[in-house]
Amino acid sequence: MTTNDYDAIVLGAGAAGLMCAAVAGQRGRRVLLLDHAEQVGKKILISGGGRCNFTNIHTVPERYLSANPHFAKSALARYTPADFIALVDAYGIAWHEKTLGQLFCDRSAKAVVAMLLDEAAKGGVDVRCGAPVRGVEHGDGLFRVTFGDRAFAAPNLVIATGGPSIPKMGASGFAYDLARQFGLKVVEPRPALVPLTLGGEDVLFRELSGVATPVEARAGKAAFREAALFTHRGLSGPAILQASSYWRHGEPVTIDFLPDAAPGWLVEAKRSRPRATLAAALGGVLPDRLAQTLAERLALPGELGAQADRKLAGAETRLKRWTFHPNGTEGFAKAEVTAGGISTAGLSSQTMMAKSVAGLYAVGEAVDVTGWLGGYNFQWAWASGYAAGRAL
């Protein structure tokens, strides 16, 4: 027996799905929100160390990766960080700004999930969790969804099931299977905002596991100034996670270990401290273990006063563009988000509806739009969810 009491069925009760359902519900649409997990918003709850980095005040379309870099502009312009902040403020949720425009809850991410559920309740959204989606069919203008042992139908269906990052949270490639079922193309998904692994000659840097330092990390044409962290498998930390989204297998990652150092600083150190070693000079500006390792690799033994200026200048150049050759990433298990996904070429940037299938929408991480680290992906979830919710 199929229940056909709904205008729209939203698959996935994460950030984008909750926003979409609440907006559509408050516009008078009868919305059913389904999720296979036992509770809604699981990724919201673990984000930002449990405090939910819910947006970034510096959100601009240029800080998103997509095969079509213009696609995100429309939705981001119509639902901004200020709009979400106004919602958070209306619920009396205290928040603070960390570095680089990142906004976090003062207390728990649970407040954001409770807010979204309250917004959904205001729209009369029917929320059901804890059963698998066993099948989705389309015919006679209706989408039929089998959820557990129940069947539901509606003229509109929203894919908001995210990407495969963090599978232990129940994430999967379900959105892509569904998209392909309806003839939509999928841009090859890959882990993004993910630690990089090192092999070959770079392996010795693994011995620095736990050491962190501010750097400028570069991959492709993108460069990020934040902390890098050495791990027992390779490289992590905000600068590396950011660069990882732009990195491709076989390409190098370059690190400027001293982004604030003035040109010629090492030659200057030779003049002022000729008896110092290179390790000692580096130790004044870098963590000791890192300074020691870099000095060993630069192979300029003895005192600075004994080194030719051109050799010191060469060492400076290497420290400015230290090249690593990652052999991979830590994969979807450690990726904060997924790059790639449902191709934007088949979607309307205004409504998020599929151009070839009336009534089929895709929002959030399921779509080929990936933001920087620091609240950008939540802002895309709110904005794309809002765009679809307004169109339903």
Residues pairing with 154 in the sheet: 143
Residues of the chain with pLDDT below 70 are: 1-3
Q: What is the pLDDT of residues 215-253, one digit of tens each?
A: 999 999 999 999 999 999 999 999 999 999 999 999 999
Q: What is the pLDDT of residue 5?
A: 86
Q: What is the pLDDT of residues 340-366, one digit of tens each?
A: 999 999 999 999 999 999 999 999 999
């690593």: which residue's tokens?
Answer: 324
Rounded CA separation 132/141 (Å): 24
Q: What is the pLDDT of residue 345?
A: 98
Q: Kind and range of the H or E element at 156?
A: strand 156-159
Tokens of 184: 């939509």
Tokens of 35: 């999720």
Dihedrals phi, psi of 226, to nearest 5 degrees: -160, -165
Q: Which residues contact 304 (CB under 8 A, 6 or more apart)?
A: 266, 269, 270, 273, 274, 275, 276, 277, 278, 281, 312
Q: What is the pLDDT of residue 1?
A: 58
Total number of residues shown for the chain: 392
CA atoms within 13 A on the CB side of 135: 8
Could you tell me which of 286, 237, 233 has the C-alpha nearest to residue 257? 286
Rounded CA separation 48/53 (Å): 5
Q: What is the pLDDT of residue 180?
A: 97
DSSP state, residue 388: H
Q: Which residues contact 341 (CB under 8 A, 6 or more apart)?
A: 163, 175, 176, 186, 187, 189, 365, 366, 367, 368, 369, 370
CB atoms within 10 A of CB 114: 14
